[in-house]
């Protein structure tokens, strides 16, 4: 506790000054050279700043190795506490902004596009009818993007696929709601539906990825192997890939190209309105668990209410 007190309670330092922020980047990347490039600094400058930080504490924060650095037990403690206080600081700023605008109660949540259509829309409509005085902030995106927003206090919860290999430092809870399988969607005039084909033939066509994982959020993954195996299974590095961060734009592109789009089977009825159908593949698609993520902390009453509404809607689906 003395280490944390020296870091954050000293009156001659601002909260999360530049050296601590730089430390978090080095800790996440495990390489001072990469961290310096990310921060727009020279490597000698960043190295000197980290040595000063170690000097302030009087303990080693890093173990230097030929290919980078690893955190010592002191470094791990500093990283854990710095991330937690950074999240609380970000959350405080957002709450202050809400109070300035006289919005003392506000639902701040995120969802993937698929789950909005499957059940989140219904849940939020029901909730807003029962609580017309509460403001709503709704964020759409990939589950890693939403997780980053969650741990930084920008949203209170989100609905998405369970993140395999998630870092334990995120300190979140996951409430499973439903199971869903991945299907391969194409336009109904696609050659794969007309010609006799095998499952492997899908690899001959462009892969359309809706809201794919971004490198900016890879620090949230402790074990990258599952996602790497998924990329290899889809042969992402060996084929044409369309990466689209909009479901509407993805549907438009799918209707005008021979692309193949992996997406939750739950959306089959929604896509059928645009003449987009699932390929009748012999092999079953990847199964995943969909649920609600929130921080491991006491939730406000209005957040608990919307969480319960989401649980009920997800179970009915």
Query: Across the chain, how many H-helices and E-strands are there?
Result: 13, 11
Which residues make Cβ contacts (< 8 Å) with residue 99, sequence separation at least 6? Answer: none
Tell how far CA 105 is from the center of its chain.
24
- The burial class, CB within 10 Å (0-12 / 13-18 / 19+), for 258 is middle
3-class DSSP state of 300? coil
**174 and 38 belong to one structural domain:** no
Query: Residue with structure tokens 């998405």?
Result: 160
- Dihedral sign, Cα of residue 9, residue 10, residue 15, residue 19: negative
**143 and 79 belong to one structural domain:** no
Q: What pLDDT does residue 91 have?
A: 77
Q: How many domains does the chain have?
A: 2
Q: What is the pLDDT of residues 200-214, one digit of tens each?
A: 788 899 999 999 988
DSSP 292: E
Q: What is the mean pLDDT of residues 151-172?
A: 93
Domain boundary among 29, 53, 85: 85
Which residues make Cβ contacts (< 8 Å) with residue 130, sequence separation at least 6? Answer: none
Q: What pLDDT does residue 84 have?
A: 82
Nearest-angstrom CA–CA distance, 141 and 210:
9
Higher-confidence position of 100 and 49: 49
Report H helices in 58-166.
73-100, 113-115, 121-130, 143-151
Tell how far CA 131 is from the center of its chain.
28
Nearest-angstrom CA–CA distance, 300 and 13:
32
Residue 251 lies in a domain: yes
Q: In terms of Cα–Cα distance, which of 179, 150, 147 is closest to 163?
A: 147
- pLDDT band for 278, please (50, 70, 90 cuts): very high
**181 and 137 belong to one structural domain:** yes
pTM, to two decimals: 0.68
Q: CATH number, domain at 36?
A: 1.10.10.10
Q: What pLDDT does residue 103 have?
A: 52
Q: What pLDDT does residue 2 have?
A: 42
**310 and 194 belong to one structural domain:** yes
- The mean pLDDT of the chain is 86
Q: What is the pLDDT of residues 214-261, one digit of tens each?
A: 888 988 998 888 888 888 888 888 899 999 999 999 999 999 999 999
Domain boundary among 23, 56, 85: 85
Q: What is the mean pLDDT of residues 153-168?
A: 93
Picking from 17-31, 64-78, 85-99, 166-180, which range would have the lowest pLDDT averaged per residue? 85-99
Tell how far CA 159 is from the center of its chain.
11
Q: What pLDDT does residue 87 have?
A: 80
**200 and 282 belong to one structural domain:** yes
Higher-confidence position of 188 and 103: 188
Q: What is the mean pLDDT of residues 71-94?
A: 85
């Amino acid at each position: 506790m003395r280490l944390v007190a020296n870091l954050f309670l000293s009156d001659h330092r601002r909260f999360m000054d530049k050296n601590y922020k730089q430390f978090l980047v080095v800790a996440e990347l495990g390489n001072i050279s990469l961290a310096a490039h990310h921060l727009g600094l020279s490597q000698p400058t960043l190295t000197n700043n980290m040595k000063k930080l170690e000097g302030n504490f009087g303990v080693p924060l890093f173990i230097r190795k030929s290919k980078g650095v690893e955190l010592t037990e002191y470094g791990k403690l500093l990283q854990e506490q710095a991330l937690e206080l950074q999240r609380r600081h970000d959350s405080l700023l957002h709450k202050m902004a809400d109070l300035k605008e006289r919005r003392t109660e506000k639902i701040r949540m995120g969802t993937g596009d698929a789950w909005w259509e499957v059940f989140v829309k219904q849940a939020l409509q029901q909730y807003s009818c029962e609580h017309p005085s509460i403001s709503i902030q709704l964020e759409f995106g990939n589950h890693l993007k939403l997780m980053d927003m969650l741990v930084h206090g920008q949203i209170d919860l989100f609905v998405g696929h369970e993140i395999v290999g998630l870092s334990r430092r995120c300190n979140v809870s996951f409430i499973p709601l439903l199971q869903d399988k991945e299907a391969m969607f194409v336009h109904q005039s696609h050659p794969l539906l007309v010609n006799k084909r095998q499952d492997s033939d899908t690899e001959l066509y462009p892969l359309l990825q809706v809201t794919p994982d971004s490198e900016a959020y890879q620090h949230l993954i402790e074990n990258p192997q599952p996602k790497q195996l998924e990329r290899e299974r889809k042969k992402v590095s060996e084929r044409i890939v369309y990466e689209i961060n909009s479901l509407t734009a993805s549907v438009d592109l799918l209707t005008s190209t021979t692309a193949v789009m992996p997406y939750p089977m739950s959306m089959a009825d929604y896509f059928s309105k645009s003449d987009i159908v699932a390929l009748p593949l012999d092999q079953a698609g990847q199964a995943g668990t969909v649920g609600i993520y929130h921080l491991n902390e006491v939730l406000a009453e209005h957040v608990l209410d919307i969480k319960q509404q989401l649980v009920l809607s997800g179970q009915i689906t």
